[in-house]
C-alpha cells in the first residue's frame, strides 16, 4: 500500500480511553488518580507515587531531590541515551558525571560507573534502553556502596523483568513515562515512585516542587490525533509534516513540573491494563525478527536473568547496514537509527558535564552503529515478513 508507513513505536490507545480522558475536562481526575497510583505502586513495589505531567519532569525532580542540598552535588548519567536525560539534568540544575555503556548490552560499563561514583556522584540514573534490562541489582550495589542513591529510569522498560521482578522496582527512586511511544500511554505524563528510607526522604523533598495540575484540553487534542493517525495506514500523514519532527531526537529545554492532568490520568487508568498483552506481542515479534538477522547486524544481548520488554529491537549495524537503515524504504518499515549523538557530544549540554574530556568509547560507538526495528502490536504478518527480508539481507 503506497500510504502505509510503519510507526517506530506504538502504545495501545482505544477510543474508550480517549473518551475517558475527555470526561476529565468536566469532572476532573476523580477516583482515577488513586487507582493509577495504586496500580503503579503494586506493580513496581513503590511506597510513594507522584503523578506528573511528563517523565522528563519526574526525572528532574528525582535528580534534584536525590542529589541533596550539598553545593556542587552531581548526578551520574549514561553517556548515551535519550536527550531528555540532558533536559532533566538541566531542569534540576545539577552538575553531571557521565559513565560509559557496554555496546553489547546497553548496560553501564562497571569500571566507568565506579569512576563516576569515585568523583563524587550523589545519585546514579540507570536506564533500560528499548526495553533491554540492565542488571539493576549490580548497579544498586555499586551505587549504595558509594553512599549514593539509585534513580531507576523505567521510561523505556516496557514490561521487562529482572529475575521475574518488573524493572522499575529496584531504585531508591523510579521514573516512569507515559508518552505516545512508551508502550503504555496517557498522551503524555509520568510518575515518580520511591521505596526505602532514603528514597522516601528524597521523595518528600521532590513533591514540594510540583505545580498544580491542569485539566488538559491541549492533551485531549493530542490524544485524538494520536488515536486517529497512530496507525500504519495513516501515519504517513503526520510523518510527512516536518514541523512535528516525528522520529527525530530533539533536545527540549526544561519546563516547570506539574501534576498529571485530569485528561491524562483518566486515560492512563484505561490503558494501564493493556500493557501486559502488548508486552507479550512485542516479545514474540522480537523473537521472530531476531531469528532473521543476518551478518552485518548484531542484536543487543539481553543479560542472563533478564527478560526484555522490547519497546524496539536494538541492533548493532555494520557500515552497509547503517546505510540501508537510513534509506526511505527502511524508514517506511519503521527501521530507525538510534540517538545520533552521545551525551558527551551534545551541544549546549557538555558545559554541565564535569568529566567531559573522557573518551566514552562505548557511547560514541552506539551513536555510530545502533539501529532499531519495530516490534509492536500494529505490525501485521505482512509487515513482519517485510522486516524479516530487510534483516536477512547480507552485507557483501
Q: Is the Cβ–Cβ distance between 345 and 83 less than 8 Å?
A: no
CB 193 within 8 A of CB 173: yes
Q: Which position has the grid cell 522528563?
A: 56
Beta-carbon contacts of 233 under 8 Å, excluding residues fewer than 6 positions away, are 1, 3, 4
Residue tagged 510523518 (cell numbers):
239
DSSP code, position 216: -
49-76: pLDDT as tens digits: 999 999 999 999 999 999 876 667 899 9
Question: What's the pLDDT score for residue 242?
Answer: 58
Q: Which residues contact 339 (CB under 8 A, 6 or more apart)?
A: 80, 81, 82, 83, 249, 366, 367, 370
The pTM of this model reads: 0.95
C-alpha grid cell for residue 291?
531469528
Q: In what order do the strands lie in the sheet with 165-166?
A: 165-166, 161-162, 306-307
Helix count (H) and strand count (E) of the chain? 15, 14
For the chain, list residues with pLDDT below 70: 1-3, 69-71, 238-248, 394-396
Q: How far apart are CA 370 and CA 18, in angstroms?
A: 34
User: How confident is the model at residue 214, as a pLDDT?
Assistant: 85
318-360: pLDDT as tens digits: 888 888 888 989 999 999 999 999 999 999 998 999 999 999 9
Q: State whether the Cα torsion 226-230-236-242 is positive or negative.
A: positive
Only one residue has cell 549514593, namely 148
For residue 1, what pLDDT is reported? Answer: 46
- Distance, in Å, from the CA atom of 176 to the CA atom of 179, rounded to the nearest integer, reads 10
Please, where are the H alpha helices in the chain? 15-27, 32-43, 55-67, 84-92, 110-118, 136-145, 196-207, 217-229, 236-239, 262-271, 275-290, 319-325, 328-332, 361-369, 381-392
In sequence order, what DSSP letters do the residues of 230-275 get, joined into one string?
A: -STTTTHHHHT-GGG-TT----------BBPPHHHHHHHHHHGGGH
**CA 170 and chain centroid, separation:** 16
Q: Report the pLDDT value the prediction gives residue 248, as an integer from 0 to 100.
A: 62
Distance between CA atoms of 146 and 117, rounded to whole angstroms?
6
Looking at beta carbons, which pairs linking 379-385 to residues 24 or more positions away fall under 8 Å?
Answer: 379/6, 379/285, 379/334, 380/232, 383/6, 383/232, 383/333, 383/334, 384/285, 384/288, 384/289
Q: What pLDDT is stored for residue 70 in this prediction?
A: 65
* Fold of the 15-207 domain: 3.40.640
Cα distances from 164 to residues 118, 160, 167, in angstroms, run: 32, 9, 9
Amino acid at each position: 500500500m503506497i500510504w502505509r508507513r510503519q510507526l517506530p513505536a506504538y502504545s495501545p490507545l482505544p477510543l474508550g480511553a480517549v473518551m475517558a480522558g475527555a470526561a476529565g475536562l468536566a469532572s476532573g481526575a476523580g477516583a482515577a488518580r488513586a487507582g493509577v497510583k495504586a496500580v503503579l505502586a503494586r506493580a513496581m513495589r513503590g511506597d510513594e507515587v507522584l503523578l506528573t505531567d511528563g517523565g522528563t519532569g519526574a526525572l528532574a525532580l528525582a535528580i534534584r531531590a536525590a542529589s541533596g542540598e550539598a553545593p556542587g552535588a552531581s548526578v551520574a548519567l549514561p553517556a548515551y541515551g535519550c536527550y531528555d536525560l540532558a533536559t532533566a539534568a538541566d531542569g534540576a540544575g545539577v552538575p553531571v558525571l557521565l559513565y560509559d555503556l557496554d555496546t553489547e548490552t546497553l548496560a553501564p560499563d562497571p569500571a566507568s560507573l565506579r569512576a563516576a561514583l569515585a568523583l563524587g556522584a550523589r545519585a546514579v540514573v540507570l536506564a533500560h534502553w528499548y526495553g533491554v534490562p540492565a542488571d539493576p541489582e549490580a548497579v544498586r550495589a555499586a551505587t549504595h556502596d558509594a553512599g549514593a542513591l539509585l534513580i531507576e529510569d523505567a521510561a523505556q522498560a516496557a514490561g521487562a523483568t529482572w529475575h521475574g521482578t518488573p524493572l522499575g522496582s529496584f531504585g531508591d527512586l523510579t521514573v516512569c513515562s507515559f508518552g505516545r511511544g512508551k508502550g503504555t500511554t496517557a498522551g503524555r505524563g509520568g510518575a515518580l515512585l520511591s521505596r526505602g528510607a532514603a528514597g522516601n526522604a528524597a521523595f518528600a523533598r521532590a513533591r514540594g516542587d510540583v505545580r498544580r495540575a491542569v485539566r488538559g484540553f491541549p492533551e485531549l487534542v493530542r490524544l485524538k490525533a494520536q488515536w486517529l493517525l497512530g496507525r500504519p495506514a495513516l501515519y504517513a500523514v503526520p510523518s510527512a509534516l516536518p514541523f512535528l519532527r516525528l522520529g527525530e531526537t530533539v533536545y527540549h529545554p526544561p519546563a516547570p513540573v506539574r501534576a498529571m492532568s485530569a485528561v491524562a490520568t483518566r486515560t492512563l487508568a484505561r490503558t494501564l491494563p493493556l500493557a501486559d498483552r502488548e508486552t507479550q506481542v512485542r516479545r514474540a515479534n522480537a523473537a521472530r525478527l531476531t531469528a532473521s538477522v543476518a551478518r552485518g547486524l548484531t542484536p543487543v544481548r539481553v543479560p542472563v536473568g533478564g527478560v526484555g520488554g522490547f519497546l524496539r529491537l536494538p541492533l548493532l549495524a555494520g557500515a552497509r547496514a547503517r546505510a540501508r537503515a537510513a534509506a526511505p524504504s527502511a524508514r517506511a518499515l519503521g527501521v530507525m537509527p538510534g540517538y545520533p549523538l552521545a551525551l558527551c557530544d551534545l551541544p549546549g549540554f557538555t558545559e554541565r558535564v564535569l568529566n567531559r574530556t573522557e573518551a566514552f568509547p562505548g557511547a560514541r560507538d552506539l551513536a555510530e552503529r545502533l539501529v532499531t526495528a519495530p516490534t509492536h502490536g500494529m505490525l501485521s504478518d505482512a509487515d513482519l515478513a517485510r522486516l524479516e527480508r530487510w534483516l536477512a539481507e547480507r552485507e557483501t
